[in-house]
Amino acid sequence: MRPGYLLLEDGLRLDGQLCGAEVAGTGEVVFTTGMSGYQESVTDPSFAGQIIAFTYPHIGNYGVSAAAMESDRVHARAVVMRAAVNREDAPTAERGWLDWLVDCGVPAITGVDTRALVRHIRGAGSMRGGLFAASVAQDEAMGLVLAEPAMAGADLARVVSPDAVSRHGADGEGPLIAAIDTGIKRSIVRELVARGARLDLHPCTVGADELLAEDPDAVFLANGPGDPAALDYVVETVREVIGTRPVFGICLGHQLLCRAVGLETFKLPFGHRGANHPVKDLRTGRIEITSQNHGFAVAAPDGGLRVERDEPVRWETRFGAAELSHVNLYDRTVEGLTLLDVPGGTVQYHPEAGPGPHDSLYLFDRFLAAL
Amino acid sequence: MPRRDDLHKILIVGSGPIVIGQAAEFDYSGVQACKVLREEGYQIVLVNSNPATIMTDPEFADATYVEPLLPGPVGQIIAKERPDALLPTLGGQTALNLAKALAENGTLERHGVELIGADYEAIDRAEDRERFRATMKAAGLKMPRSAIATSVDEALGQMQDIGLPVIVRPAFTLGGRGGGIARTPEEFREIVRGGLEASPIGQVLLDQSVLGWGEFELEVMRDRNDNCVIVCSIENLDPMGIHTGDSVTVAPQQTLTDALYQRLRDQAMAVIRAVGVETGGSNVQFAVDPQTEEILVIEMNPRVSRSSALASKATGFPIAKIAARLAVGYTLEEIPNDITMSTPASFEPTIDYTVVKWPRFAFEKFQGANPVLSTHMKSVGEVMAIGRTFQQAFAKAMRSRELDAPVRLGDAPLSALLERLERPGADRYDVMLECFRRGAEVEAVHERCLVDRWFLAELRELALEPETPFEGERTYKAVDTCAAEFEARTPYYYSCWERTSADEVERGARPSVVILGAGPNRIGQGIEFDYCCVHAAMTVRESGRDAVMVNCNPETVSTDYDTSDRLYFEPLTLEDVLAVCRLERPEGVIVQFGGQTPLKLAAGLADAGIPLLGTSVEAIDLAEDRGRFGKLLDELGLSAPPYAEAHSVDEALAASREVGFPLLVRPSYVLGGRAMEIVYSEEGLAEYLARNVRDDGRAIFLDRFLENAIEVDVDALCDGEEVWIGGIMQHVEEAGIHSGDSACVLPPHSLGPEMLAQIRAHTEGIALGLGVVGLLNVQYAVYEGALYVIEANPRASRTVPFVSKAIGLPLAKLACRVMLGERIAALGLPEEAMVGDHVSVKEAVMPFDRFEGADALLGPEMRSTGEVMGVARDFPAAFAKAQAAAGAALPQSGTAFVTVTDSDKAGAVAIAQTLHDLGFRIVATRGTKEAFERMGVPATALKKVGEGSPNVVDMIESGEVDLVVNTPTGSGARSDGWQIRRAAIARGIPCLTTLSGGLAAVRAIAAARAGASDVLSLQEIHRAGNVETPA
Ligand SMILES: Nc1ncnc2c1ncn2[C@@H]1O[C@H](COP(=O)(O)OP(=O)(O)O)[C@@H](O)[C@H]1O
Ligand SMILES: Nc1ncnc2c1ncn2[C@@H]1O[C@H](COP(=O)(O)OP(=O)(O)O)[C@@H](O)[C@H]1O
Ligand SMILES: [Mg+2]
Ligand SMILES: [Mg+2]
């Protein structure tokens, strides 16, 4: 392992040993507090353009396997860890974690005081940064960091979205769902298909007519990276399909449906990334422990960033009545939307888990039952 | 849903004496419950027979009963106090079993008492193995193949279907007591018989063995809205087959993929829902096959447990506190997470460090006991260590164990060491590390112990490069439940090593006092010392200073972050303590309250220029150096038993002639009375020395053994000028039975005023002579009317909590005030400690029933794990309560078996006479019978064990004997006496091994016959003794 360092745009430098591919990596430095599921995280397209710092020190313990892929490749720009290990001899490992990162061309660093990093980001907010070999001069490195475009305003969906439509699930009777693939996770595809659905994944630039060409039973808005405010072209498509088909979505998809019905989105200071966030369903009072991965969130109709009231927030949209149905109990940010006059609803968190708890898997049953 | 207003008075049941499998963790949980429920405005009635607990401090409840945890007395308490509800989930298995009994015998219904936390059905579903199995099946969860047997023959039949090896586990026993793993039909027969005996309901569970699978525990909480959270996952390094209580464990789990872990999480929630624990915490144990990823449910505890205490300390999520709030109506969402204050308790802690728990064993004290670890828990305590990496935490945990003697692996060849791993003992990890140092590969070790390769690879690195994890700078980070995602308000810290230090400690302007805890519970140093440390913390806070606690025992109240202003969860080594001091720059350090552990650090701290509060290092040395102490006694004109110090076997033999027999011998390098023995002749001495002493020039102490002397314990307070006697305790058993193992009475029941005056005078002399500032404990022997000093400990003693509860004044707090500079004169103490019109008896609780093979004899070597207290209007009644509380309730009628050594025969007649008058049938061995009949006490003779059946042991085993009085004829292992005592203990029959104990017992029986004595709350007693209970 070669000495290297993580540099943040505000000048914070943390040293460690490089343990991945021998390239530099820059991007938005974010942290996730999940204690397992490192492979799922780095292959989640929502992490495109970001450097992931894992708050749990030991990463790599059980190696990597095909089953844990959330897409066909690693989307994170780089990985920051406290105590990375390779361990290709773990019972279900198909390859060692560090060997695999090298295979995938992903730079990584270990031996970093990740807790000090998190405390810094918690105060200063997530920001750009990069991984560099110790031999790279710090001012040169800073140049590269600052050359990195800011996350706010970034359209990263285009980067991760497929070029062509693909069909998933056994052909046959199952309901047909047309998804706008802004970077969908395999777990979502798996959960839908496991429930008998057929799923078409469309490029995010798809138009409404194309999307509805095969006469789908519903439209699904996927998760994905970047700033929802940069995706007005998708929002337009969504506006056209609301009312014609039930519209469901997760994470970025939630933000897009919310924008489509007139809500604003904003950048969270350091995002929600982890597997332990409590979310309350304001209609039933039930609390679910959720998997989260988002840097932007939806503002309430009154423009407020927090929902203080403990019942659903109802208001009139151009598509009829709607309500904010879920709230995050950590910071009371919006976690769910339900359309009341036309079929549709979305959640900010990840019911498909991968990684994370299964508390909300039932949402997929509910979704398909509604068709 | 908010607080339940239909409840006003709540009864909380503790877990009784410290025994293997049930230790200080239930004081921790009980105290948390008392605190929050009183904050919520409920009246609390507390019952626990264990006086060494914080929860039994009068200030923690409105009415505190130190009474036996049995349906009788607790029924009386319910009738007297009329609580609306009983909270049974915080007092371990004891409280659950008691609650079940009170429900089954109708007491709860009769008095309209509601079970909160877990109702009868839920408890039964979890505790009755058969119902539990059915419940799991219905919930679609898998368990090992199994069957339930109530007889050996039935079991043999079922063995066929299950297939060997089979795990045999008795129903309703603590820590797997009486269970085992049978690999052959013979073993099977043997273990099943033992298991049926150990089970109070004569039932054993036969389980398909999944030895070698991974063992995992999840701590679940559920509220009345059916919201569930997992507080913590715990992975056992030791695979299935070694009890979780004896396993080295780590949190969070390290080796499971997210997908597999989430399946465990789902199943843990399914279990708590299926069992129907509506509010509170439960512990669910799983076995996982790492290859096939098959998951089996092993058991669930519908209550807080040792593991939940560990989980609370490991994550900062106070399970017991929250369970108590849930039990009175709140939901998780309504309870704030007191670490962040900004987030609710309805979340799952996530941590950014690694936690290792390490058990502490005491095999050396039980000669003959089988030291191989199995499904039957044998450890007596534990330590926890936190590090940023597993290696940091593991190495800290090893340091924290504080072994009496370093593990010696000698020069055994690698092959021999590797073989040892196949029969895992207390030292298995020391052996493992040595194997790696000698070049063993991970695979070779894995094959033998089946510990997951991830851990082995980490341990191998640690063995080869022990320094690497500690490179960089030591820095203190906070435990905050959220991996730093939110700001932490709770000052709970651990040290770790990073490239550059970034301390998170927020040290205010106030002066601080560092209190050093007692480390792991062990025999000779238990919860009593934690009690004292907690009192010190309270006193320091009251004085306007910051109390800073340093300890590494996760079971305790002292390591609750609420107890002090700053908690450092650290090993109690000089290095680690000095590091804390460097950061804290304390006004002083308190070493008097944590037993020998901190006392041993005193000199090192002083040398480093750290100010000690109270008794000086010089004074400590004066008391502990036998030569110097002997001189002091001479100067004071006090007598001690003649003694000599020898440095070789020959010297010892020579010295023995001057000192004179009988002799009490002990090598200098052992603590807590270890390896102490009484020898009656030169041959005996030679034989002892051959067995116990390496002729390495280290000192051997020889004391004249004062036979049939009355032992007296005194706890006193001294400020350097004035001395105040807190309590004088007379032991029931004669000197020769370790003070920690003998019952004692306060006030003394048979010492005259002159003797008491002399004891006071002696104690004052010693306290002032030593220059004690704080607490002093002196042990005396009254021999042929004269007073001898046995030893003086310039620190809080084991008896401080007992005395404090008996006299209604908090000795440890008073001592702490003195150490902080107050004068005794200014404390407003009564001339003499008052005791009111009651008598208090302390009785020790022995772990013999867990060490098959070890003799059940009392001696100068301490073996008890815990103690109980009995309070009543007179000595016999108090003694009876203490016996009942200790688990050996005295019979009121039936058959008594008496067999005593010749020297005791005369004395035994009095016992036999009383028993006869009380209508007992007396059976005895021939010699004893003749002695009795000569004095006109009818008795039936029984065959000796050697003389074929039916003999004594058969009779005891068939349950025909209700009381055994048996004084030892020299401890020949496997002797008649040995077999008799084992049989009695296996059957739970009271077995008295000393004449004095026997006499006290018969008086107690007579008293009990006169009618059940009433239950007394400490508050009543103290009022009667007109001492106002200080807050
Ligand atoms: N079927 C089994 N095969 C192998 N080991 C087992 C099996 N069941 C239990 N054990 C071991 O025995 C220990 C004690 O069993 P458990 O059911 O937890 O009883 P306890 O009530 O004493 O905790 C467990 O920690 C585990 O290591
Ligand atoms: N000279 C003696 N005569 C009789 N009994 C003794 C004598 N010395 C010690 N003992 C017994 O041995 C026990 C342990 O001895 P002690 O010196 O108190 O060691 P420890 O440090 O373990 O408390 C005492 O409680 C007492 O019962
Ligand atoms: Mg268990
Ligand atoms: Mg002693």
Mean pLDDT of B147-163: 93
ipTM field: 0.97
Q: Poorest-confidence range of A220-234, B137-151, B932-946?
A: B932-946
> Cα–Cα distance between B38 and B40 in angstroms, integer?
5
Write out pLDDT tens, residues B584-593.
999 999 999 9
Tokens describing residue A43 = 């292959």
For chain A, what percent of residues have pLDDT higher than 70? 100
- Phi/psi class of residue B555: alpha, beta or left (left: φ > 0; alpha: ψ in -120 to 50)? alpha
Measured in Å, residue B791 CA sits from the centre of ligand 4 at 6
Closest CA–CA distance from residue A111 to any residue of chain B (Å): 8
Q: How many residues does chain A have?
A: 371
pLDDT band at B111 (very low <50, low <70, confident <90, very high): very high
Write out pLDDT tens, residues B417-468.
999 999 999 999 999 999 999 999 999 999 999 999 999 999 999 999 999 9
Q: Do A357 and B265 touch (CB under 8 A)?
A: yes
DSSP classification of residue A197: -
DSSP classification of residue B226: -
Please give the model's pTM, rounded to 2 decimal places. Answer: 0.95
Which residues of chain B neighbour A62 with C-beta distances below 8 Å? 255-257, 454
- pLDDT reading at B479 higher than 80: yes
- Give the β-pairing of B492-498 and B566-569: parallel
Mean pLDDT of B374-386: 94
Write out pLDDT tens, residues B555-593.
999 999 999 999 999 999 999 999 999 999 999 999 999
Q: Which residues have C-beta within 8 Å of that of residue A369, sequence separation ≥ 6? A: none
Mean pLDDT of B747-776: 96
> Cα–Cα distance between B401 and B358 in angstroms, integer?
7
pLDDT band at A316 (very low <50, low <70, confident <90, very high): very high
- Out of A35, A65, A330, whose CB is closest to B343? A330
Q: Do A90 and B454 touch (CB under 8 A)?
A: yes
pLDDT band at B255 (very low <50, low <70, confident <90, very high): very high
Mean pLDDT of B146-174: 88
- pLDDT reading at B670 higher than 60: no
DSSP classification of residue A111: S
Closest CA–CA distance from residue A188 to any residue of chain B (Å): 14
pLDDT band at A265 (very low <50, low <70, confident <90, very high): very high
Q: Do A35 and B388 touch (CB under 8 A)?
A: no
**Residue-level pLDDT at B1027:** 53
Task: Tell me if B710 CB under 6 Å of ligand 2.
Answer: no
pLDDT band at B972 (very low <50, low <70, confident <90, very high): very low
- Out of A89, A118, A276, whose CB is closest to B484? A118
Query: Which residue CA neighbors atom 19 of ligand 1 most closely?
Result: B176
pLDDT band at B673 (very low <50, low <70, confident <90, very high): very low
DSSP classification of residue A63: -
pLDDT band at B835 (very low <50, low <70, confident <90, very high): low
**Residue-level pLDDT at B669:** 60
Task: Tell me if B144 CB under 6 Å of ligand 1.
Answer: yes
**Residue-level pLDDT at B770:** 97
**Residue-level pLDDT at B175:** 47
CA atoms within 13 A on the CB side of B57: 27
3-state secondary structure of B311: helix
Task: Let me know: does B565 contact B546? Beta carbons within 8 Å.
Answer: yes
Measured in Å, residue B949 CA sits from the centre of ligand 1 at 37
Tell me, letter by letter, the H, E, C secondary structure of B339-380.
CCCCCECCCCCECCCEEEEEEECCHHHCCCCCCCCCCCCCCC
**Residue-level pLDDT at B562:** 94
Tokens describing residue B354 = 């690694």
pLDDT band at B671 (very low <50, low <70, confident <90, very high): very low
**Residue-level pLDDT at A124:** 96
For chain B, what percent of residues have pLDDT higher than 90? 74
> Cα–Cα distance between B114 and B120 in angstroms, integer?
10
Query: Which residue CA neighbors atom 12 of ligand 2 most closely?
Result: B860
Measured in Å, residue B879 CA sits from the centre of ligand 2 at 23
Q: Return the ∠ at Cα B441 (arms to B436 and B445), rounded to 5°.
A: 80
Compute the mean pLDDT over every residue in chain A, rounded to the nearest whole number. 97
Compute the mean pLDDT over every residue in chain B, rounded to the nearest whole number. 92
Which residues of chain A neighbour B333 with C-beta distances below 8 Å? 278, 280, 287, 329
Residue A149 identity: P
Other CB atoms within a 10 A radius of the CB of residue B251 amount to 29
Top pLDDT among B995 and A268 is at A268
pLDDT band at B973 (very low <50, low <70, confident <90, very high): very low
- pLDDT reading at A207 higher than 60: yes
Mean pLDDT of B632-654: 94
Residues of A belonging to the active site: 251, 350, 352
Q: Poorest-confidence range of A276-285, B317-326, B330-339, B721-730?
A: B330-339
R_g of chain A, CA atoms, integer Å: 20
- Chain centroid to CA B958: how far? 31
Which residues of chain B neighbour A40 with C-beta distances below 8 Å? 258
- pLDDT reading at B342 higher than 70: yes
> Cα–Cα distance between B462 and B465 in angstroms, integer?
5
Residues forming a β-bridge with B711: B781
**Residue-level pLDDT at B971:** 43
- pLDDT reading at B1007 higher than 90: no
Write out pLDDT tens, residues B926-969.
888 999 999 999 999 888 777 777 788 888 877 889 999 988 76
- Out of B291, B390, B502, whose CB is closest to A113? B502
Write out pLDDT tens, residues B53-82.
999 999 999 999 999 999 999 999 999 999
**Residue-level pLDDT at B991:** 84
**Residue-level pLDDT at B796:** 96
Mean pLDDT of B146-165: 92
Q: Which residues have C-beta within 8 Å of that of residue B918, sequence separation ≥ 6? A: B893, B1002, B1005, B1006, B1009
pLDDT band at A279 (very low <50, low <70, confident <90, very high): very high
Q: Do B388 and A57 touch (CB under 8 A)?
A: yes
pLDDT band at B975 (very low <50, low <70, confident <90, very high): low
Mean pLDDT of B627-652: 94
**Residue-level pLDDT at B186:** 93
Q: Poorest-confidence range of A34-48, B401-415, B599-613, B885-899?
A: B401-415
Tokens describing residue B979 = 């077999």
Task: Let me know: does B834 contact B1025? Beta carbons within 8 Å.
Answer: yes
3-state secondary structure of B229: strand
Write out pLDDT tens, residues A144-193.
999 999 999 999 999 999 999 999 998 888 999 999 999 999 999 999 99
Residues forming a β-bridge with B989: none
